[in-house]
Amino acid sequence: MNIWITGASSGIGESVARLYAEAGHTVFASARNQDALKAMESASNEYAGRIVAAPLDVTDNNSVIDAFEKIKHDKNPLDLVILNAGYYEPVEFADLTLEHFEKTYDVNLRGVVRCLIPVLKYFTEQQHGHIAIVSSVSGFRGLPRAAAYGSSKAALINMAESLKPECNANSIQLSLINPGFVKSKLTEQNKFNMPFIMETEDAAKRIVDGLESTAFELTFPKRFTYWLKLFRILPYWLYFVVTKKLL
């Protein structure tokens, strides 16, 4: 397969890129950190030559279009696209700013859309392709201290649900990935105890294995994420009793 992964310079995206490359696939690895991408590209190990650096900034539409054009030119056809680039910054209630919301939405929501639009057109013309959108369990329901991050991820879940039937009708598989806590630079910032936090490699393996199935949603670890799914059906009065305790 030929695979494009955004947010591949660190964390979950980097691990997923390595796993696919080790399995013999060609991976176009995108992010802003060119040094990290080049290091993956030039690695002389078991996946040597199978990772291609495709730097971009998902907040810059021209940068996304340029990178995607190069990828299409380099290797046809593309089979799988994993839109994983994400941004998270914990901010206290008193420090919330418009800039914080704008930055979060620009990477997590608009950044996905900037990549998604050209990919949908390309896969529609090609009449096949698989797109995976990395959202989060924090998009299931509003959680304290995650107003910007959680709402950006909730928007991705809604967007994926909305697009799924039309993707199917155009022979495009659409998957939604909702991880629980995973060790990465992103979660390093959290000062609280993160239940059932997973190693990055374990999460990457769940993603690679899960994307082999036709399931719409991949969520893990289930012993954590199924509890959060249960929270979705709680009435507000009871839900807020629970979330008040998280403050």
Ligand X SMILES: NC(=O)c1ccc[n+]([C@@H]2O[C@H](COP(=O)([O-])OP(=O)(O)OC[C@H]3O[C@@H](n4cnc5c(N)ncnc54)[C@H](OP(=O)(O)O)[C@@H]3O)[C@@H](O)[C@H]2O)c1
Q: Please, which residue, 35 or 125, has the CB nearer to ligand X?
A: 35
Binding mask 184-203 for ligand X (x = CB under 6 A): xxxx----------------
Q: Please, which residue, 79 or 201, has the CB nearer to ligand X?
A: 201
CA distance 3 to 28: 6
Residue 130 CB, nearest distance to ligand X (Å)?
18
Neighbouring residues of 180: CB distance < 8 A, sequence distance ≥ 6: 137, 195, 196, 197, 198, 219, 220, 221, 224, 225, 228
Q: Please, which residue, 202 or 241, has the CB nearer to ligand X?
A: 202
Q: Where are the alpha helices (DSSP H) in 109-146?
A: 110-126
Residue 58 CB, nearest distance to ligand X (Å)?
4
Is residue 131 within the footprint of ligand X (CB under 6 A)?
no
CA distance 26 to 52: 8
Among 3, 11, 27, 122, binds ligand X (CB under 6 A): 11
Q: Please, which residue, 129 or 179, has the CB nearer to ligand X?
A: 179
In the region spanning residues 13 to 42, those forming contacts with ligand X, defined by CB under 6 A, are 13, 31-33
Q: What are phi and psi of 66, to 5 degrees?
A: -60, -50
Q: Binding-site residue total for ligand X (CB under 6 A)?
A: 31
**In this structure, are residues 25 and 16 in contact, taking their beta carbons and an 8 Å threshold?**
no
Residue 162 CB, nearest distance to ligand X (Å)?
19
Report strand pairing: 51-53 vs 80-83: unpaired
* Binding region for ligand X (CB under 6 A) out of 44-52, 140-148, 163-171, 177-185: 177-185
Q: What are phi and psi of 17, to 5 degrees?
A: -60, -45
Q: Please, which residue, 10 or 170, has the CB nearer to ligand X?
A: 10
DSSP readout, 34-71?
A: HHHHHHHHT--STTTT-EEE----TT-HHHHHHHHHHH
Is residue 86 within the footprint of ligand X (CB under 6 A)?
yes
Residue owning tokens 């290091």? 39
Residues that bind ligand X in the complex, under the rule CB under 6 A? 6-13, 31-33, 56-59, 84-88, 107, 111, 134, 136, 179, 181-182, 184-187
